[in-house]
A and B are shown apart, each in its own frame.
Chain A
Amino acid sequence: MIELENITKVYHMGKVAVNALRGVSLAIAEGEMLAIIGASGSGKSTLLNIIGLLDRPTSGRYLFNGEDTGRLNDNQLAELRNRKYGFVFQNFNLLPRATALANVELPLIYSGRTSRRRERAQEVLAQVGLAGRADHKPSEMSGGEQQRVAIARALVNDPWLVLADEPTGNLDTKSGAGIMDIFYRLHRGGKTIVLITHEPDIAAQAQRTIRIQDGRVVAGEV
Chain B
Amino acid sequence: MRFKDSLTTALRSLTANKLRSALTMLGIIIGVAAVIGLMSIGRGVEASITSTLEGLGSNAIYVIPQTPGSTGFGGLTGSVPTLSVDDAEALADPSRVRAVVDVAPVGSSYADVIAGSESVTTTITGTNPAYMGAMGYSMAAGQFISERNVRHRDLVAVLGDKTAQDLFGGADPVGEKIKISGRRFTVVGVLEAKGGAMMGISQDEMVLVPITTFHARLFTQLTSSGEDAVQSIVVEVTSAGAVNGAILDIEDVLRDRHHLAADDDDDFAVISQEQILSSVQQITGMLTLLLGAIAGISLLVGGIGIMNIMLVSVTERTREIGIRKAVGAKRRDILSQFLLESAVISLVGSAVGVAAGMIMARLFSRLSIGGGTMTTVVSPDIIVLAISVAIFIGLVSGIYPALRAARLNPIDALHYG
Contacts and interface: CB of A to CB of B under 8 A. Distances in A.
B162 interface: no
A55 interface: yes
A79 B411 contact: no
B329 interface: yes
B10 to A, nearest CB: 12
Contact of B2 (A75, A98, A114, A157): A114
A78 B332 CA distance: 11
A95 B327 CA distance: 12
Interface in B375-410: 409-410
A87 B326 CA distance: 8
B56 interface: no
A111 B327 CA distance: 9
Contacts of A83: 328
A79 B1 CA distance: 11
Contacts of A97: 12-13, 16
A49 interface: yes
Interface residues of B, number: 25
Contacts of B5: 109
Interface in B1-36: 1-2, 5, 9, 12-13, 16
B327 A110 contact: yes
A188 B410 CA distance: 31
Interface in A76-118: 78-79, 81-83, 87, 89, 93-95, 97-98, 106-107, 109-112, 114
Interface in B304-318: none
Contacts of B12: 97-98
Interface residues of A, number: 27
Contact of B330 (A49, A79, A95, A98): A79
A54 interface: yes
Contacts of A94: 323
A107 B328 CA distance: 6
Main DSSP-derived SS at the B contact region: helix
A137 B411 CA distance: 24
Nearest to A107: B327
Contacts of B43: none
A93 B411 contact: no
A134 to B, nearest CB: 16
Given A49-B411, A54-B411, A54-B414, A81 B2 contact: no
B192 interface: no
A74 interface: yes
A54 B328 contact: no
B12, B319, B323, B328 pick with most chain A CB within 10 angstroms = B328
Contacts of B1: 109-110, 112
A114 to B, nearest CB: 7
A93 B330 contact: no
B181 to A, nearest CB: 80
B323 A95 contact: yes
A95 B9 CA distance: 12
Contacts of A111: 328
Contacts of B98: none
Given A93-B414, A97-B16, A78 B329 contact: yes
A110 B328 contact: yes
Given A93-B319, A93-B323, A97-B16, A110 B414 contact: no
A153 B327 contact: yes
Nearest to A89: B414
B177 interface: no
Interface in A108-139: 109-112, 114
B328 A81 contact: yes
A98 B9 CA distance: 10
Given A82-B327, A83-B328, A54 B410 contact: yes
A78 B325 contact: yes
A75 B323 contact: no
A89 B320 CA distance: 14
Given A93-B319, A109-B5, A87 B328 contact: no
Given A54-B411, A110-B1, A74 B328 contact: no
Contacts of A89: 414
